[in-house]
Amino acid sequence: MALRGCWRYTGAAPRLLWNSTVPPVASVPGGRRSASTLDSSQPGYKKLLLRRFTSGPPATHVNYNQLKELLAGGKSVVIDVREPWELREFGAIPGSINIPLGQLNTALQLGPGEFKEKYGGEMPKQTDNIVFSCLAGIRSKKALDAAALLGYKDIRHYPGGWEDWVNNEQQK
């Protein structure tokens, strides 16, 4: 009762949640259930939908075949965020630009001429399709988050990374 009295001062959202039709635990067949397991087909029940909010972009993964198509069509810029010694030792995806993860934030804020001089490729625009890659998908996910904070829209990452690329290339 005390909570109900306090909520009237906090806005409409709590009242909407308070007034939603959620069945009492005792009336749910089978005993105790959480709100997420309620059956909306039962009469008198409304399904409680919860939406998770996040500050980051939705994770958009690209698999090997999708990346091959993007590279073949020239529809995407692939940025490898590994260190230069890793590329020399293990290799790189053909056509990718190497920007170590530690330099990515600064690199994506350079002017186009300075970017090309330092990294040897065209500076991606904020509307370009960009795919981040690394060894196994950890650093590329961090790069995806960093680019999103800088305002890049069409960004993805290749979670398999170089390891997946090599395995798929050797099978062909």
d(C-alpha 84, C-alpha 87), whole Å = 5
What stretches of 27-111 show up as alpha helix (H) in DSSP?
64-73, 84-90, 101-107
Task: Determine how β-strand 97-98 pairs with β-strand 130-133.
Answer: unpaired
Helix (H) or strand (E) holding 116: helix 112-119
Helix (H) or strand (E) holding 2: helix 2-7
What are the percentages of helix, strand and coil residues in the chain, rounded to 5? 45, 10, 50
Question: Which residue in 107, 134, 143, 147 is the catalytic one?
Answer: 134
Catalytic (active site) residue 6: no
3-state SS, residue 95 = coil
The single-letter DSSP state of residue 130 is E
Q: Are 78 and 71 in contact (CB under 8 A)?
A: yes
Q: Are 99 and 142 in contact (CB under 8 A)?
A: no
Active site residues: 134
